[in-house]
Amino acid sequence: MKLLNCFIKLLPSTPIYAHCDIPCGIYDPHNSQLASQTVLKMVQKIKELDSSASPASGVASPQNDNLNDRNNFVRMVKVKEEHAELCKKEVLILWTDYFKEEHLEKFPDLHTLVWKTTKLCSDNKRVVDEVKAQELVAAVDKIAEIFNQTKK
């Protein structure tokens, strides 16, 4: 039940189409961090759902709970996919639109860091793996930290 209630907060609602063309150089790594944390959250929810639903749990769940669980499995995979994609895009926006030559001189590994982070986004679509999701969160945090240092 606790789990089901929590779904209320989990529900995809009105999708919004957000251009990142924020005027006057207001860029923000916040959304990329939120997206990576959402991927991690989804991985945890899917595993939680899976263990509760799976016969291996030794608990025969009533047919209907089972149906809701399968409904939400499909939905959570979709949310994971979308946030992994969103995370990739947000990180690429910072890389292509915010970072300038002078930032690269101070952070020569930026190109490599961004590149590897986008590959972690793809990995997290393919698997349901808490370690991989943690790696993504950490990589995005590192980019956010560099961003913040350029703001000082």
Residue 141 binds a second copy, judged by CB under 8 A: no
Residue 8 binds a second copy, judged by CB under 8 A: yes
Residue 82 binds a second copy, judged by CB under 8 A: yes
Candidates 29, 33, 36, 90: give the one binding a second copy (CB under 8 A): 90
Q: How large is the C-alpha radius of gyration of the chain? A: 18
Write b or e for each residue in 23-43: b if 16 or more Cβ atoms lie within 10 A of its Cβ, otherwise e.
eeeebebebbbebbbbbbbbb
Q: Sign of the CA dihedral 115, 116, 117, 119?
A: positive
Q: What angle do CA 30, 33, 36 make, to 5 degrees?
A: 150
- How far apart, in whole angstroms, are the C-alpha atoms of residue 145 and residue 139? 10
Site string for a second copy, 93-132 (x = CB under 8 A): x-xxx-------------xx--x--xx--xx-xxxxx---
Residue 59 binds a second copy, judged by CB under 8 A: no
Candidates 3, 52, 61, 73: give the one binding a second copy (CB under 8 A): 73
Q: In whole angstroms, how close is the CB of 121 to a second copy at the nearest point?
A: 8
- How far apart, in whole angstroms, are the C-alpha atoms of residue 145 and residue 143? 5
Residue 89 binds a second copy, judged by CB under 8 A: yes
- Six token digits for residue 3: 């789990």
Q: In whole angstroms, how close is the CB of 34 to a second copy at the nearest point?
A: 6
Query: What backbone torsions phi and psi does residue 150 show, to the nearest 5 degrees?
Result: -70, -15
Q: In whole angstroms, how close is the CB of 138 to a second copy at the nearest point?
A: 18
Residue 1 binds a second copy, judged by CB under 8 A: no
Residue 56 binds a second copy, judged by CB under 8 A: yes
